[in-house]
Amino acid sequence: MTLSIFDQFMSPTLMGIPLIGLAMTLPWILFTSPTPRWLTNRFLTLQGWFINRFTQQLFQPLNPAGHKWALLFTSLMMFLFSLNMLGLLPYTFTPTTQLSLNMGLAVPFWLATVIIGMRNQPTIALGHLLPEGTPTPLIPILIIIETISLFIRPIALGVRLTANLTAGHLLIQLIATAAFVLLPLMPSVAILTALLLFLLTLLEVAVAMIQAYVFVLLLSLYLQENV
């Protein structure tokens, strides 16, 4: 039973070839490319409005030096959003439930913000390790604590995204299995369970969108400290 629950998180293979690369590439096909025409369809208009609003909300607190990251962060947001949403469909694989993928995204972006801070303003970047007004006896301890918290940031980014999506998928599978088993035994209870499953699915749609936004938002906050 335990193996069948976690089988959904295994990377699918075809003739021994992992298909995780295909699962990560296909979401980009769903996004329509902009056209030079003045009149476009509703989907393209909604997509452009969403990207513009997201970019404005994300980069409004940043100074102009951080605006060059707009394209990169917006693309990352749309990439994570599409992967999370497509993973809710039946018989699909969610690459963002793999900790290796999330850490592969979190560590380079976090490291890039730290390197930029050390290169452009090393004094201010190192000053984040020691809060102003700290008593002299506490300085070594606080430097160690702040250094550890700095290196925990990418781990927290990857683990947060993985844990939230994994927990949601497990709950959906457990409740769906319970509804299927209870249907011939107690139909009324099975209907209530199916209603709970529907509400949980709506919640997972919201979680898929929110987690993609939170991932990029935290990266923008790390960037704000270093630019």
In this prediction, residue 156 carries a pLDDT of 93
Domain span at 54: 7-225
* 132 vs 111: CA distance, rounded Å: 25
In this prediction, residue 159 carries a pLDDT of 92
The rounded Cα 202 to chain-centroid distance in angstroms is: 17
Q: Reduced to 3 states, what is the DSSP secondary structure of residue 17?
A: strand
CA dihedral for 84, 85, 90, 93, sign (positive or negative) = negative
In this prediction, residue 83 carries a pLDDT of 87
In this prediction, residue 38 carries a pLDDT of 67
In this prediction, residue 1 carries a pLDDT of 44
- The pLDDT tens digits for 35-46 are 677 666 777 788
- How many domains would you assign to the chain? 1
In this prediction, residue 32 carries a pLDDT of 66
Percent of the chain with pLDDT over 90: 22
Residues in CB range of 21: below 8 A, 6 or more apart: none
Would you report the helix, strand and coil content of the chain in percent, each value rounded to 5? 80, 0, 20
CA dihedral for 20, 24, 155, 8, sign (positive or negative) = negative
In this prediction, residue 6 carries a pLDDT of 65
Residues in CB range of 32: below 8 A, 6 or more apart: 41, 43, 44, 47
Task: Residue count of the chain, please give it.
Answer: 227
50 in a structural domain:
yes
131 in a structural domain:
yes
128 in a structural domain:
yes
pTM of the entire predicted model: 0.83
* 199 vs 143: CA distance, rounded Å: 46
213 in a structural domain:
yes
Q: What is the DSSP string of 209-225?
A: HHHHHHHHHHHHHHHHH
2 in a structural domain:
no
152 in a structural domain:
yes
Instruction: Spell out, as residue ranges, where the chain has pLDDT lower than 70.
Output: 1-9, 12, 30, 32-35, 38-40
Q: What is the mean pLDDT of the chain?
A: 83
- The pLDDT tens digits for 81-125 are 888 888 888 777 888 888 888 999 999 999 999 998 888 888 887
Residue 90, phi then psi, degrees to nearest 5:
-65, 145
67 in a structural domain:
yes
104 in a structural domain:
yes
In this prediction, residue 131 carries a pLDDT of 75
CB atoms within 10 A of CB 3: 7
In this prediction, residue 225 carries a pLDDT of 84
